[in-house]
Amino acid sequence: MAGRRGALIVLEGVDRAGKSTQSRKLVDALCAAGHRAELLRFPERSTEIGKLLASYLEKKSEDYFETVSVKLSSCRRSTRTCPVPTSRPLIKEKLSQGITLVVDRYAFSGVAFTSAKENFSLDWCKQPDTGLPKPDLVVFLELQLAEAAARGGFGLERYESGAFQQRALQRFQQLMGDVTLPWKTVDASRSIEDVHGEIRALSEDTIQAAAQKPLGELWT
């Protein structure tokens, strides 16, 4: 139907919960089912800003944090949609063109991981992302931290310590207490296919519903 907007679908969760795998599978499945769907991820490490961030996350630079969180947020806000590669139109523009966006991390990761550091309050961390396009669905991939830690590659990057992940998880839980946001918790300990099936069903419903209502603003 002409004029239907796309849905903004966000996947969140602690590190190694399967967000990237599930985001890619979801886009493929939605496209195969005839939807127009595209993948975005924050941070996108291949861009210039993304490379700076990656060097911080990969512990190759130490002095970068003050700007990292602000830059990440401004990337989500930027008219150039940096750090997504190439100068794609805005999230809003894509949605208004009827394209559903599946986003691998969004403002919630920004707030959870920054506020898990000392001296950064949740409210302070929310401010730079306030007013961004509000997701129509936020899937939280729930996984025990011990299970996440046992998955491949865990422990190599900054933030990948049990204590830090625990604090980030607590922050995610605080954010999930906001009932004005469309959080759906999905058990990520199951097989990739089972998790995918549930996310896909939620997404199909969300795409139908989003077409009938205006896009909101986050945390306003």
Nearer to ligand NYM, 37 or 68 (CB): 68
Nearer to Mg ion, 156 or 179 (CB): 156
Q: Is 169 helix (H, G, I), strand (E, B) or coil?
A: helix
Q: How many helices (H) and strands (E) does the chain have?
A: 9, 5
171 binds ligand NYM (CB under 6 A): no
Strand partners, 101: 8, 38
> Which residue in 159, 184, 190, 198 binds ligand NYM (CB under 6 A)?
159
Binding to ligand NYM in span 77-116, by CB under 6 A: 105, 109-110, 113
Q: Is the dihedral of CA 84, 25, 13, 180 positive or negative?
A: positive
> Which residue in 29, 57, 84, 139 binds ligand NYM (CB under 6 A)?
57
Nearer to ligand NYM, 105 or 126 (CB): 105
15 binds ligand NYM (CB under 6 A): yes
Q: Which residue has the tokens 């794609």?
A: 88
12 binds ligand NYM (CB under 6 A): no
The answer to whether 45 and 96 have CB atoms below 8 angstroms apart is no
Q: Is 194 helix (H, G, I), strand (E, B) or coil?
A: helix
Contact partner at residue 182 from Mg ion, ligand NYM, none, CB < 5 to 8 Å by partner kind? none
- Pick from 54, 35, 36: nearest CA to 44: 54
Nearer to Mg ion, 20 or 170 (CB): 20
**Residue 139 identity:** V
Number of residues that bind Mg ion (CB under 5 A): 1
Determine the Cα–Cα distance for residues 183 and 186; give it in Å rounded to an integer: 10
Q: Which residue is nearest to Mg ion (CB)?
A: 20
Determine the Cα–Cα distance for residues 110 and 124; give it in Å rounded to an integer: 12
Nearer to ligand NYM, 38 or 204 (CB): 38
Q: Which residues bind ligand NYM (CB under 6 A)?
A: 15, 42-43, 57, 72, 105, 109-110, 113, 159
Q: Which residues bind Mg ion (CB under 5 A)?
A: 20
